[in-house]
Amino acid sequence: MSTAEEFEKLSENQRLKAAVHHTTLQICKEHSASQDVQLNRMVVASISETVWRKFEAWATDLELFAKHAKRSTINADDVKMLIRKSPKLLAHMNQVHEQIVATKNEGKKKTKKSTAKD
Amino acid sequence: MAASFKQKTVQKILQMYFKDEKTKMNPESLALISELAEIFIAEACMRTAKQAQKDGDTELSLEQFEKILPQLLLNF
């Protein structure tokens, strides 16, 4: 890899890390307001860095789960396997998943109706 | 809760760490992982805040974050 390519990859990496930090700060701001505590820049940065490492760990595991099922595309079941040890978290994720599927099916029904009218 | 990750951002990050270039995420799994990350951050923040209240502080500190970090990582 030439130095120019290496530099570009570095910038993309930095951009993504900045995006994670931005969203981390937003979420922390929302929650600190409700809990009446003051945020600390270093704490937010640490949380951001920890999420980043989590993404890395999740990516590796998800790829492995999908491969184990002889797939190259990761699906919802793979994600649910990540959190199998936390029952409450899993229950919440199942709910979220149902919502996603429900919205998806509503979208499909609407397109079916419009094609039927034609 | 308004703050959330952009799907494209999460996809790019995960893609960086896939070992096989053929590995992809389907849209549902992408949405679920984003949700998971958002919950993780919220939990990190809330647990640190609770620890701060226990210690009688009004501002979050690294020390408090470090105290709650082990259990947080075990739960996720």
Same domain, A13 and A64: yes
- Check residue A32 and give its pLDDT: 87
pLDDT at A115 over 60: no
Task: Return the C-alpha torsion angle B30, A60, A19, A75, nearest 10.
Answer: 0
Please report, for the domain that includes residue A64, its CATH number.
1.10.20.10
Which residues in chain B have Cβ-Cβ distances shorter than 8 Å to A51? 37, 40-41, 44
The residue segments making up the domain with residue B33 are 7-75
Q: Are residues A89 and A43 part of one domain?
A: no
Quick: pLDDT tens for A57-76: 999 999 999 999 999 999 99
Same domain, A35 and A87: no
* Domain membership flag for residue B1: no
| Cross-strand pairs, A73 | B24
For residues A111 and A63, state if they share a domain. no
CB B16 within 8 A of CB A52: no
Spatial distance between the Cα atoms of B37 and B41, rounded to a whole number of angstroms? 6
Q: A69-103 burial string, b = 16+ CB within 10 Å, else e?
A: eeeeebbbebbbbbbeeeeebeeebeebbeebeee
Residue of chain B with shortest Cα separation from A43: B62
List, in order, residues 6 or more apart from B30 with CB less than 8 Å away: B7, B10, B11
**B2 within domain boundaries:** no
**Domain boundaries, position A19:** 1-74
User: How many structural domains comprise chain B?
Assistant: 1
- Give mean pLDDT, residues A26-49: 93
As given in the structure block, the two tokens for residue A50 are 């920890």
From B10, B65, B30, B66, select the one nearest A55 (Cα to Cα): B10
Q: DSSP code of B70? A: H
CA of B56 to nearest chain A CA: how many angstroms apart?
Answer: 11
- B69/A50 touch (CB, cutoff 8 Å), yes or no: yes
CATH number at residue B48: 1.10.20
Confidence class for position A27, pLDDT limits 50, 70, 90 = very high
> From residue B25, how far is each of A58, A103, B30, B53 by CA, in Å?
12, 19, 6, 40
Helices (H), A1-118: 3-35, 41-68, 76-82, 87-117
Average pLDDT, chain A: 90
Over range A107-112, report the average pLDDT: 76
Interface test with B, best of A12, A34, A51 (most B CBs within 10 A): A51
| Residue A117, pLDDT score | 53
Residue of A nearest to B75 (CA): A86
| Tokens representing residue B4 in the block | 């959330």
Domain count, chain A: 2
Scanning the structure block, which residue is given the tokens 């978290």? Answer: A89
Q: Is B9 on the interface with A (CB under 8 A)?
A: yes
Q: Dig out the tokens for B8 from the structure.
A: 């494209």
- Judged by CB atoms within 8 Å, which residues 24-53 of B form the interface with A? 24-26, 28-29, 31-33, 35-42, 44-46, 48-50, 52-53
Does ipTM surpass 0.90 in this model? yes
